[in-house]
């Protein structure tokens, strides 16, 4: 790489970088460029839910990272430090992570809403330890919080996975560029 100026890095033209990409822009907090980059990254939609004092609590995230560790099985996600749901949700001994299925975009919007009944009409399955799962999801992960690490305006949460289930015949709900596009998935045998 060569420096064109102090704020823009230009790639060596002899090294392929990408169609239509020839330089890096500064990564600035809250910039339109960073918002666009993050929104253009397709991601599965996860509902993280638990029952606490008999009430369902949950939030939706696209920042879930599967395969954080295989021994022991772990996953992680990041949550905004301003979240009002996470401080309550994290108090549960177990949290159910449901990877939503294609067609569950209304469930996603409902659980992520700041107003109204987040779980009204949503079919759920609860465990004795407090994990709450969304019925008809693609994947269920029964998790326990084992670490929280500060990361700028977010916190990275690491979970140990105590149980898992997956429906191979169903496509996941994917969030990309502000919408839920269809993902062609062939059922596994």
Q: Is 67 exposed, middle or buried (0-12, 13-18, 19+ CB in 10 A)?
A: exposed
Do 131 and 98 contact (CB within 8 A), yes or no? no
**Which two structure tokens, joined as six digits, stand for 103?**
């067609």
C-alpha 46: how far from its chain's center?
Answer: 5
Residue 86, domain CATH: 2.30.110.10
pLDDT in tens, 34-88: 777 777 777 789 999 999 999 999 999 988 988 889 999 999 999 999 999 999 9
Q: Is 185 a member of any domain? A: no
Residue 189 has pLDDT above 70, yes or no: no
The dihedral through the CA atoms of 130, 157, 90, 160 has a sign that is: positive
Q: What is the CA radius of gyration of the chain?
A: 19
Q: Is 103 a member of any domain? A: yes
Between 1-15, 93-107, 122-136, the lowest mean confidence (pLDDT) is in: 1-15
Q: Is 66 a member of any domain? A: yes
Say what the pLDDT of residue 2 is. Answer: 44
Say what the pLDDT of residue 63 is. Answer: 87
Query: By C-alpha distance, which of 122, 126, 131, 127 is closest to 90?
Result: 131
Q: What is the mean pLDDT of residues 128-151?
A: 97
Overall domain count for the chain: 1
Range of the domain at 53: 44-130+143-165
Question: 160 CB contacts (<8 Å, ≥6 apart)?
Answer: 72, 73, 74, 143, 144, 146
pLDDT in tens, 95-109: 999 999 999 989 989
């Amino acid at each position: 790489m060569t420096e064109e100026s102090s704020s823009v890095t230009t790639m060596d033209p002899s090294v392929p970088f990408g169609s239509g990409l020839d330089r890096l822009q500064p990564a600035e907090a809250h910039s339109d460029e960073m918002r666009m980059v993050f929104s253009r990254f397709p991601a599965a939609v996860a509902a993280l839910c638990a029952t606490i004092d008999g009430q369902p609590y949950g939030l939706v995230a696209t920042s879930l990272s599967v395969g954080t560790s295989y021994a022991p099985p772990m996953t992680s996600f990041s949550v905004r430090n301003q979240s009002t749901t996470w401080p309550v949700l994290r108090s549960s001994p177990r949290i159910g992570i449901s990877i939503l299925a294609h067609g569950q975009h209304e469930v996603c919007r409902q659980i992520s809403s700041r107003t109204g009944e987040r779980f009204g009409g949503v079919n759920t399955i609860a465990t004795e330890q407090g994990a709450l799962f969304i019925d008809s999801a693609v994947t269920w992960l029964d998790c326990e919080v084992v670490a929280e690490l500060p990361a700028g305006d977010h916190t990275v949460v690491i979970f140990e996975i105590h149980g898992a289930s997956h429906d191979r015949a169903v496509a996941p709900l994917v969030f990309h560029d502000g919408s839920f596009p269809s993902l062609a998935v062939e059922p596994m045998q």
